[in-house]
């Protein structure tokens, strides 16, 4: 378990039983922190441990609205580790609130042109200031075995053995891999891919899993709403209705799509009568900051 931060996230029940004959609970990783995305925090844990042991500076990558960047900035600062963020694109004249927050947590930001970013080429100033051996690089989104190991704790911190289905949004799939690793053989783990036609995700998740857990999950590729960070009026309507009914905020990049998918699946009787479904609210509402005011009936802190 996390040596730096060991929270237990609450599980809440939704009133779906009467409508669908399926019990649905939500594991609220979003309750960890108003700014830092819950699943990112879990994924970072083992990376932080390694960086701290090696006495290195953490360096990681992300976009201007990246949940991973703020989470790394905050987690590194809690652990007393210096952190550097390489941000995709030219420096904007007004930095995004996400970047302002990352900076406030003590992260040094460097901007990288989209082409340099793609090849993971580090900005020249970083090379001038730091020796490569002083840097501990965390891949974008925390993808990797330490990330998967951290994500296992998402399920292990509560008693979740009674759920028949566990559903989560999947970006890099690191979080899903952790859920699969922690789940038992009779539990079905379902990932809602938020990227369009990202079929290599299957292999990327398998790559992180121990042999006996490989392939023990289902990816659904029909709920990306047009692709990564794409949105629709239907998605916003769902997010607002879901908030009005449950008081649970979601984001349009990850959890909004995952929960929209979950309700579409409920209507199709995908889970079967009597199923006990756990929706993992992975946290992170940063993406909503990029939306025009008034799109959503709830705000982002």
Ligand X SMILES: *Cc1c(COP(=O)(O)O)cnc(C)c1O
3-state DSSP call for residue 168? strand
Residue with tokens 């830092």: 36
H/E element, 192: strand 188-193
Is residue 45 a contact point for ligand X (CB under 6 A)?
no
Site size with ligand X, rule: CB under 6 A: 19
Instruction: Report the distance separating Cα 206 and Cα 231, nearest Å.
Output: 29
Q: Where are the alpha helices (DSSP H) in 119-200?
A: 124-129, 145-156, 174-182
Minimum distance of ligand X from residue 48's CB (angstroms): 16
Six-digit token string for 168: 């989560």
Cβ-contact 286, 67 below 8 angstroms: yes
Q: For the segment 268-287, give every residue that binds ligand X (CB under 6 A).
A: 282-284
Is residue 37 a contact point for ligand X (CB under 6 A)?
yes
Count the helices and strands in the chain (H runs, E runs): 11, 10
Cβ-contact 22, 36 below 8 angstroms: no
| Of residues 199 and 269, the one with the C-beta less far from ligand X | 199
Minimum distance of ligand X from residue 141's CB (angstroms): 4
Near ligand X by CB under 6 A: residue from 85, 146, 173, 249:
173
Cβ-contact 58, 72 below 8 angstroms: yes
| Of residues 120 and 129, the one with the C-beta less far from ligand X | 120
Is residue 172 a contact point for ligand X (CB under 6 A)?
yes
Cβ-contact 43, 178 below 8 angstroms: yes
Minimum distance of ligand X from residue 129's CB (angstroms): 28
Is residue 72 a contact point for ligand X (CB under 6 A)?
no
| Of residues 63 and 171, the one with the C-beta less far from ligand X | 171
Minimum distance of ligand X from residue 177's CB (angstroms): 8
Angle between helices 38-53 and 174-182 (to 10 degrees): 90
Minimum distance of ligand X from residue 201's CB (angstroms): 9
Is residue 198 a contact point for ligand X (CB under 6 A)?
no
Minimum distance of ligand X from residue 234's CB (angstroms): 20
Maximum alpha-carbon separation in the chain: 63
Is residue 141 a contact point for ligand X (CB under 6 A)?
yes
Binding site for ligand X (CB under 6 A): 37, 39-40, 67, 141, 169-176, 251, 254-255, 282-284
């Amino acid at each position: 378990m996390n040596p730096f931060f060991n929270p237990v996230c609450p599980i809440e029940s939704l009133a779906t039983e009467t409508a669908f004959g399926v019990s649905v609970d939500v594991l609220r990783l979003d309750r960890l922190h108003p700014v830092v995305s819950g699943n990112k925090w879990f994924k970072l844990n083992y990376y932080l441990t390694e960086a701290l042991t090696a006495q290195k500076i953490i360096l990681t990558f992300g976009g201007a609205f990246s949940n991973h960047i703020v989470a790394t900035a905050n987690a590194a600062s809690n652990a007393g580790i210096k952190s550097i963020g390489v941000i995709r694109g030219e420096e904007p004249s007004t930095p995004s609130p996400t970047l302002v927050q990352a900076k406030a947590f003590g992260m040094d930001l460097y901007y990288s042109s989209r082409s340099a970013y793609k090849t993971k080429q580090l900005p020249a100033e970083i090379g001038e200031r730091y020796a490569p051996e002083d840097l501990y690089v965390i891949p974008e989104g925390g993808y990797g075995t330490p990330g998967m190991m951290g994500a296992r704790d998402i399920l292990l911190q509560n008693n979740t053995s009674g759920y028949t289905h566990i559903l989560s949004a999947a970006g890099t799939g690191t979080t899903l891999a952790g859920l699969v690793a922690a789940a038992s053989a009779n539990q079905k783990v379902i990932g809602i891919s938020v990227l369009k036609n990202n079929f290599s995700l299957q292999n990327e998740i398998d790559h992180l899993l121990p042999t006996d857990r490989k392939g023990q999950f289902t990816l659904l590729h029909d709920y990306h709403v047009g692709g990564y960070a794409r949105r629709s009026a239907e998605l916003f309507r769902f997010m607002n209705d879901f908030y009005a009914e449950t008081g649970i905020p979601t984001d349009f990049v990850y959890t909004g799509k995952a929960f929209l998918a979950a309700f579409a699946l409920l209507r199709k009787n995908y889970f079967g009568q009597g199923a006990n479904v756990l929706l993992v609210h992975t946290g992170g509402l940063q993406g909503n900051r990029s939306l025009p005011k008034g799109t959503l009936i709830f705000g982002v802190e």
